[in-house]
Amino acid sequence: MNGKRIIEKYYDVVDNQLLRFVLVGGLNTAFGVGVFCLAIFIGLPYYVATLVSNVLGVLFNFVTTGNLVFRNGNPRLIFRFVACYVVIYFVNTALVKLFAYLVSRTSYLENPYYWAGIVATPFVALCSYFLLKKFVYKQ
């Protein structure tokens, strides 16, 4: 079975775009963490490992999200994709700061940023989905 037939079967089985986004997000996360761990394993400093995993992760994410979520593998969309991820970074940072502030005001946790990052994740994922859908893969 060739790659196009496998992808078409995938679309038949997972016919909800948001669900495909979540599933592909898991794949993208595993890829990024895997690259980071491999880079650390081969002896790269953490800041180089972070850079390599982020760059390769965004490129991998662009291919998988375009093809497996939005059915659009147009390489010219990479600039819009990266621009959306810059916006997503700032949204994520702002939400983590806000949630950390709220957590620190209501509890005695030593470092509220752990929980703030976890709480922000679903909001950031939804924001990512809608930004990509409206500005990169608009149909």
- For residue range 53-88, what is the model confidence (pLDDT) as tens digits? 999 999 999 999 999 999 999 999 999 999 999 999
- How many Å apart are CA 44 and CA 78, to the nearest integer? 27
Instruction: Work out the average pLDDT over 12-21.
Output: 87
Going by pLDDT thresholds of 50, 70 and 90, the confidence category of residue 1 is: low
- How much is the mean pLDDT over the chain? 90
DSSP type of residue 42: T
Provide the whole-model pTM. Answer: 0.83
**H-helix or E-strand spanning residue 91:** helix 78-106
Summarize pLDDT for 88-124 with one digit per residue, the tens: 999 999 999 998 898 888 777 777 888 888 889 999 9
Indicate whether 48 pLDDT > 70. yes
Instruction: Work out the average pLDDT over 27-49.
Output: 93
Percent of the chain with pLDDT over 90: 66
Per-residue confidence (pLDDT) for residue 49, from 0 to 100: 92
Give every CB contact of residue 110 below 8 A, 6+ residues apart in sequence: none
**Nearest-CA neighbor of 40 among 27, 53, 30?**
53
